[in-house]
Structure 1
Amino acid sequence: MEGKLRAPEPDARMGDVVARVSDALRRRWMLFIGIVSAVTLIGVLAVASMPPHYTAAARIRLDPSRSPLAGNAQAQRAELTPEAIDTEVMALRSPELAQAITAAHNLRADPEFAPANGTAASGHAVTAALLSHLTVDREAMAYVLQLRFTSADPLKAAALANAFAEGYIDRRMTNRVGTAERQSAWFRQRLDELGREVMEAEASAADYRARAGIVHSSAGPGAGTISDQQVAPLASSLASAESDAAAARSNLAAARAQVARGGMDAVSEVLGSVVIADLRRQRAEVLRARGEIDARYGERHPESIRVANQLASLDGQIDAEAQRVIGSLQASAAAAEARAGSLRASLDMLEHQREHSTRDAVIAAGLEREAAAKRALYERTSQMSLESMQAARLPIAQAEVIERAAPPVRPSAPNKPLLYALVLIVAMAAGMGTVAVIELSGGGLRSIKEIEDRLGVPVLAVVPRVRSGQNPADVMLERPASMFAESLRIARAAILGAREEHVPRVIAITSALPAEGKTTVALAFARTLAIGGTPTLIVECDIRRAVLRELVRSGSSGPGLIEVLRGEADAGEAIRPGDVTNLDQLLVRSPFFKADDPFGEGRMERLIAGLRDRYGHIVLDLPPLIGLADGRPLAALADATAVVIKWNATPAPAAASALSWLRTDGSNPVGVILTQVDPAAPAVGGLYHHSKLYSDYYRAA
C-alpha cells in the first residue's frame, strides 16, 4: 500500500520540472525564438559557406609471409603483430614519403597546402599540411590498410592517395633490397674474418694437443693423453695380477696347513698329481707282490729284499714329487706377488704422470671448445649470408595495392544536412540555456508553494502584471471584471476574512525592498475596500518617496501628512476626497528628507486612534522595511500587515528577513501579496484561477 502511495512522487517531481520549463518558455518565448533564430541563421550561413571536400581511398594488403628459405611450414606461417601493423601505418605517414610526394607533385605551389598569405612555404609546413589530409587505418582484423586522402579537388584526392600507396610500395621494396645488399656485403666480410679465426683456433688446439701428448680430440669418445689411455689397461692387468697372487697365496697357505695336519699326502695338489698317482699305483702293485714273496720265501729272501728296496725307492720318489709340488706352489705365489708389485709400480708412475697432464688436458679442451664455437658461428653466419643473398636476388614485395583510389563523385564533407540539424539543436540549446540562465539568475520567488514553504505565511493574493503603459491601479476602475481587479478582491477577502468578527480596521501594506508594487497595491486595495461600500482612508506613510499623489486621479493640494504630524495643520484640512466613492486620502505633499522623525513621540499613534471612528478601514502605505527605519514601528500600529513580494524578483532571504522583523516588533503579518506575476505563469494558477480556465469569468486587463 505504501508503494502505491509513493509511486506518483517521481511523476509529480517530473511534472514540476516540466511545468517550470513550460512556464519559463511561455514567459520568455520571444527571447527564446530570437536566440534560436539568430543562432540558426548564423549557423546556416556558416555551413552554407563551407567548401566541399572529397575523400579518395586506396587499399594496401600486407603480406606477412616469412622468408622462402624457411625449412618448415611452421616457420613460413603468416604472423603480423598489432605493433608491426602500427609500424607500417607510421611508415605510410612518414615525413620522408610526404616530402618525396610534395616534390614529385610540386605541392609547394599548391594553395591548398601552401600558406594563404602568398609567402613561400617551408618544406616542413607543406609536409605537415599534406599529412593532415591523410588518414591511414587498419580494416578490422585483416592485413589490409585503408589509405584516405581528403582534398577540395576530387582528382587531386585520388591522385595523392595513389601517390602515397605507390610511394610506400616503392620505398619499401627499395629499402628492403638495399638493406639486403648491405647485409650481404657485411656477411661476406664477416665470414672472411670468422674463417680465419676458425683456422687459427683449430691450429692452436692441434698444436697444443701434440705438445701435450693428447692423441684424440676432446669431442670424441676416446679423448685424453697417452697416459690416460695406458692407465685403463694397466689397471686391468694389475687387478688380474693381484687376483692371481691372492689365489697363489691362498693355495700355498692351504697346502702348508694340510701338511701341518696330515703330511704331504693330505695336500690336495699332491693328491691331484698324476705322477704321484702313478707312483702310488706302482707301489700298490709292489706291495701286493711283496706280500706273495714274503709269504713264499720269507723276509730274508733276496727276492723279498729286492721288492723291499723297490718299495723304498717308490716311496722316495713319491716324497720327492710331493716336495716338488709344494715348491711349485711357493714359486707360483712368489711369481704372482712379483708381477703384481711390478704392475702396481708402473700404475703409480702413470698416475703421477697423469696428474701432471690434467692441466694440459683442460687447456686443450678449452681450445677445442673455442674452436668448435667459432666453427658453429661461422656456419650460422654462412646460413644467414645465404638467406641475405637470396633476398637480394629475389626482392619479394611484402605489400601490394589491391585497390587504387578513384575520384569520388560526392563530397565527403561537410555533411550539410547533419550540420543543419546540429545547428538547429545548438540554437535550441542556446535559447534554452539563455532562458535558464536568466531564470536562475533572477533568484526570486516564483510559486505559491515555494513562498509558503520558505516564508511560512500564506499567499493572500496573486496580482497579475498588466500591459506596459497602463497604470495598474487604474485597471480596476476601467475594467472591474479583469483578473487584476479580481486579485485585489481576493486580497480583501483574505485579509478581512469571511466573518465580521475581529475585522482588522488598520491595514498596513509594505514590502521588503523598493520597486515591488507596494504603493500600487495599497491604492488598488484601498479602492477595492471603498468600492465595497466601506468608508476607507489611505494614508501615504512612504514620506521619502511620496509618489501616491501622482497615481490618484483626484487632485490634492494644501497640507499633507507631515504638516498634520507636526501640528501645522488639522487632519480634517489635510484629508481630501479620493477618486472613488467612500475613499479619502491623506497624502504627502512633497518628499520629506529631514533628519527628525515626524512619526515619533506617539504622534502617528494618536492620529490613527483619532481616525478609527471615522473610517471603516484605514490603509497605510508603508515604506520598504529593509534599509529604512520608518516602516517597522508603523507596521506595529496596524491591525494587520500584508507584505508585497514581486514575482521572480524579490530574493527569498530579503522577504524572510522582513517577515521576521515584523514578528519581532509585535506586528501581525497576515501574509504576502505576490505582484507583477506573468498571467501565464503557474503562480497565477496556484490559487486555482488560471487565466485559461477562467477566461469566461474575466475580461482581459
Structure 2
Amino acid sequence: MDADIDLKGILGLIRRQLWLILSTIATILVLTLIFTYSLTPKYTATSLVLVDTSTKNLLDSSNILSNPNADNSRVESEVGILKSDRILLNVVRENNLVSDSEFGIKISLKDRILSWLRIPLPPAPTSDEALARVLNSFKSAVTVNRNGLTYLITVGVVSTDPAKAAQLANSMSETYIREQINAKVSATLTNRDTIQNRVAAANAAIVENEKNFDTYITANIDRLEKQSNSLGLATLRAELEKVNQDRSAEMSRIESLQKSLQSQDFSTLVTQLGSDALNEFQSQRESLATRIAAVDDNSTEAISLRAELAKLDSSLASAASQEVNDLQQTVTGYQQQANEVRQKIRSTVLQSNLPPEVLTEIYSLQQSSEIARNQYQTLLSRLQELDAQSALQLPDSRVVSAALVPTVPSFPNSRMILALALLASVGLGVGLAVLREYFIGGFVSENQIEAVLKVPLSAIAPRQATGDEHHKLANPTSSLADLMVTAPLSLFSESVRRLRLTLDQQERKHPVAKRAGDDEGAIIMVSSALPSEGKSTMALSLARAYALTGKRTLLIDCDLRKPSVNKHLNLEPNHDFIDYLRQDRSSATLTSLIMRDPLSNLTVLLGGRRSDIATDELVMSEKMGRILASARKHFDYVVLDTPPVEPVVDGLYLARHADMIVFVIKWASTPQSSAKRAVAALKENKNPDAGIVTLLNQQDRAKMSGNYSYSGYYTE
C-alpha cells in the first residue's frame, strides 16, 4: 500500500511539473544539438600491424621461434617504439606537418587578441620549438594500442580531413617498418665492421706466423738439411712458397670481389668473375636499363621494369655471392695444400735426426700458424654471412591492413551525446521538479505543509466551477462560495465543512475565555501569504457554513486596501467601512455598513471602496477593538477576511484579536518561502492561546496522480 501511495505521489509530481520537465528536456536537447553540430567533425583512420616474434634469416631456411614467455614484452616494446618521438618526428618531417593547417604552427587566439590590442607579441618560436609544438599536437592525435594479448597493434590517427587521417596512419606504419629494417641493417653493419677489423688483424697474424715459419725454415734450411741428412726440404720449401703466393693472390681477389658485392658494383663483379651465368645476368640488366631509360619515369611500364630490375639485381647478387663462396673454397684448398706441404716439412724434419731444441721451435711455429689460420677462416666466414644479411634483412612486423579513408566521423558521436543529454535532461528536469515541488514551488500535499510550516492541515478545497451553465448565464457574477448553498453536496462544500470541523476541534482544545461573566463568540481570522489565493472566498464560505447551522455569524471585510466581499455577494453598501473607522460620522454609520447575505442567515460588515491611504492605523485603533469586542457579545462566530500578510501588515495587527487563524494556501502556487515567512509572522503577533490551521485551496485534481475514489459519491 505504501509503495502504491509513493507511486501515485511520484506520478502526481510528474503531472504537476510536466511543463517544467518537458521544457528542461527540450532546452537541453536544443542546446546540445546546437553545440554538437557546431563542433568540427573529426575522423579516425586505423591501420593494423602484426608483430612476428620469430627470428628470420633468408640465409637459413628454418625460422627460429622466440621464447613465448618473452613475446608479451616484445610486443609491448614494439608498441612503445611505434609511438616514440623518433617515429612521430619522421612522420612529421615526411608529411611536412610543420606547415599543415591543422597540426602546424598557427596564430593563436591569444596572439590575435594581443595584436588587436596592439600589444607586442612574444618572439616567434625557433625551429626546434616549432617542431616540438607540432610534435605535441600530432602526438595528441595518435593512438597506438595492442589488441588484447594478440600480436596485432592498432595505429590510429585523428584528423579533421579523412584523407589526411588515412595518409598519416599509413605513414606511421610504413615509417615504423622502415625504421625497423634500418635498425636491423645498422646493427648488422656494425657487427660486420667489428669483425672486419678483426679479420685484418687475423690476416696479419697469419702472415706474421707464416712469415716466421718460412723465415725460420729459410734461415735454417741448410742447417736442417745437414742435421737431418734430408735432401727434400729445399724442394718442399719451394713448393710451400708457391702455394702461399697462389693463396695470397686468391685472397686479394676475394677481398676485391667482396667490396664490389657490398657496393653492388655488378660490372666489376662480372668482369672479375667472368662466368657465363653472370654475363647473362649482366646482359639482361643492361637491356632492362636501356628499356627503362626509354620510357617515362612515372609510367606503369617504368614501375614494372624497375621492379624487374630490382629482382634481377637480387639474383645477380646472389649468384655473385655464390661464386665468391666457391672462390673461398679455392682459398681453402690452397690452405690445405700449404698445410700438407708444411706437414711434409714437419714430418720430414721431425723424422730427421734433429736436436730436441730444434724440433720444439719448429712445432711451436707450426701451431701458431694453425691457430691463426683457424681464427681467420672463422672470422671470414662470419663476415661474408653478415655482408649477405645486410642486404637481405626482413622486418619483424608487417602491415596486415592499411588504413582506409573513413567515411563516418568518429567525433562528435551525435547519438551518444544526444542519448547522454537526454538522460541528463530527464534527470535534471525531474530534479528541478522535485526542487520546485518541495523546496521552491507551492504546496501539494498534507505532509509537505506540515513538514515545512509545522502547522496542521485542516482541509483541501478542490478547484471547482461555480455551478451549471444555466446558473452562470443567469448570474455571471456568482461566487464559488455560493456552492455552500447551491451545491451543498459538492467536494468544495464538504471541504469547507471539514475546515469548520477542524476549527470546532481547536475550540474545544482551547475554549474562548469568559469575559464579563458571559459567553463570548469566537473570532476566526482568515488570512494568506499573497493575494489571489482564494482567501475572501474561503472566508465567505466558512461564515456561511456556520450560518447554515443556525449559528449567529458575522463576516467582517477587514481587507481595507482591497475589499472584495461585496463583489462575492453582489451587494454595494451605502457607506464605506474605512470612512467609519476614520471617525467621519457624517458619512458613515455602523448600521449602514451591516447587511444581510441574500443566500443565508449571515450578517456581513462590508468594506466598500478601496483605500487610497495606509490602513494599519485604522485596524489597530480603539474603534476597531470596540467593534470586535461588541461583535463577540452579539455573535457566536466572527469571521475576519484580512489582507494578505506578505504585502500588508494589517493582518498582523488583527491577529491579536483572533481566537483561531485559518491560513489559506493556494495549491501548487503559494511559494514555500512566502508561506513560511507569513506563518512565522502570524505566530509572533497572534494571541498566545490562538491556534493556526491551514487550508490547501484550489487543488487541481487533473494534475494529481489519480482522481479520488470517492469523488463519484458527491456527483451522483
Shorter-chain TM-score tier: 0.5 to 0.7
The 1:538–1:98 alpha-carbon spacing in structure 2 relative to 1, beyond 3 Å, is same
Q: d(CA) in 2 for partners of 1:80 and 1:472?
A: 96
The answer to whether the 8 Å contact 2:477/2:570 transfers is no
- Residue 525 of structure 2 is aligned with which of 504, 509, 515? 509
SS at match of 1:477: helix
- Residue 657 of structure 1 is aligned with which of 662, 677, 680? 680
1:460 deviates by 1.6
Which residue does the alignment assign to 2:23? 34
Which residue does the alignment assign to 1:57? 46
- Residue 605 of structure 2 is aligned with which of 579, 582, 586? 586
Correspondences of 1:125-144 after superposition (within 5 Å): 128=136, 130-144=138-152
1:669 deviates by 1.3
The answer to whether the 8 Å contact 2:141/2:157 transfers is yes
The answer to whether the 8 Å contact 1:641/1:667 transfers is no
The 1:627–1:416 alpha-carbon spacing in structure 2 relative to 1, beyond 3 Å, is closer
Correspondences of 1:478-493 after superposition (within 5 Å): 480=487, 483-493=491-501
Which residue does the alignment assign to 2:314? none
SS at match of 2:150: coil
Q: d(CA) in 1 for partners of 2:44 and 2:542?
A: 74
- Residue 429 of structure 2 is aligned with which of 428, 431, 434? 431
- Residue 82 of structure 2 is aligned with which of 75, 92, 95? 92
1:60 deviates by 1.9
Of 103-112 and 437-446, more deviation after overlay is shown by 103-112
Which residue does the alignment assign to 2:639? 619
Aligned residues: 493
The 1:117–1:465 alpha-carbon spacing in structure 2 relative to 1, beyond 3 Å, is farther
Q: d(CA) in 1 for partners of 2:101 and 2:465?
A: 60
Correspondences of 1:159-178 after superposition (within 5 Å): 159-178=167-186
Which residue does the alignment assign to 2:154? 146
1:590 deviates by 4.3
Q: d(CA) in 1 for partners of 2:465 and 2:439?
A: 24
The 1:75–1:109 alpha-carbon spacing in structure 2 relative to 1, beyond 3 Å, is closer
SS at match of 2:661: strand
Which residue does the alignment assign to 1:495? 503
- Residue 523 of structure 1 is aligned with which of 514, 529, 540? 540
Q: d(CA) in 1 for partners of 2:628 and 2:438?
A: 43
The 1:472–1:81 alpha-carbon spacing in structure 2 relative to 1, beyond 3 Å, is farther
Which residue does the alignment assign to 1:642? 662
Of 406-415 and 154-163, more deviation after overlay is shown by 406-415
What amino acid does structure 1 have at the position aligned with 2:18?
Answer: W
Q: d(CA) in 2 for partners of 1:423 and 1:594?
A: 53
Q: d(CA) in 2 for partners of 1:472 and 1:443?
A: 31
Which residue does the alignment assign to 2:227? none
The answer to whether the 8 Å contact 1:473/1:520 transfers is no
Which residue does the alignment assign to 1:474? 479
The answer to whether the 8 Å contact 1:536/1:619 transfers is yes
1:619 deviates by 0.8
What amino acid does structure 2 have at the position aligned with 1:576?
Answer: M
- Residue 592 of structure 2 is aligned with which of 573, 577, 590? 573
What amino acid does structure 2 have at the position aligned with 1:89?
Answer: V
The answer to whether the 8 Å contact 1:66/1:78 transfers is no
Q: d(CA) in 1 for partners of 2:521 and 2:105?
A: 85
- Residue 449 of structure 2 is aligned with which of 448, 451, 457? 451
The 1:28–1:450 alpha-carbon spacing in structure 2 relative to 1, beyond 3 Å, is closer
The 1:409–1:559 alpha-carbon spacing in structure 2 relative to 1, beyond 3 Å, is closer
Q: d(CA) in 2 for partners of 1:48 and 1:624?
A: 51
1:680 deviates by 4.4
What amino acid does structure 2 have at the position aligned with 1:88?
Answer: E
SS at match of 1:494: helix
Q: d(CA) in 2 for partners of 1:457 and 1:37?
A: 38
1:623 deviates by 4.6
Q: d(CA) in 2 for partners of 1:66 and 1:18?
A: 70
SS at match of 2:571: coil
- Residue 400 of structure 2 is aligned with which of 402, 414, 417? 402
Gaps of 5+ in 2: 113-123, 202-378, 467-471, 513-519
User: TM (normalized to structure 2)?
Assistant: 0.54
- Residue 537 of structure 1 is aligned with which of 543, 549, 554? 554
Which residue does the alignment assign to 2:696? 674
Q: d(CA) in 2 for partners of 1:84 and 1:444?
A: 68
What amino acid does structure 2 have at the position aligned with 1:97?
Answer: I
What amino acid does structure 2 have at the position aligned with 1:522?
Answer: A
The 1:152–1:125 alpha-carbon spacing in structure 2 relative to 1, beyond 3 Å, is same
User: TM (normalized to structure 1)?
Assistant: 0.55
Q: d(CA) in 2 for partners of 1:483 and 1:671?
A: 20
What amino acid does structure 2 have at the position aligned with 1:147?
Answer: V
Q: d(CA) in 2 for partners of 1:19 and 1:79?
A: 63
1:452 deviates by 4.0
The answer to whether the 8 Å contact 1:482/1:699 transfers is yes
SS at match of 1:558: coil
The answer to whether the 8 Å contact 2:43/2:161 transfers is yes
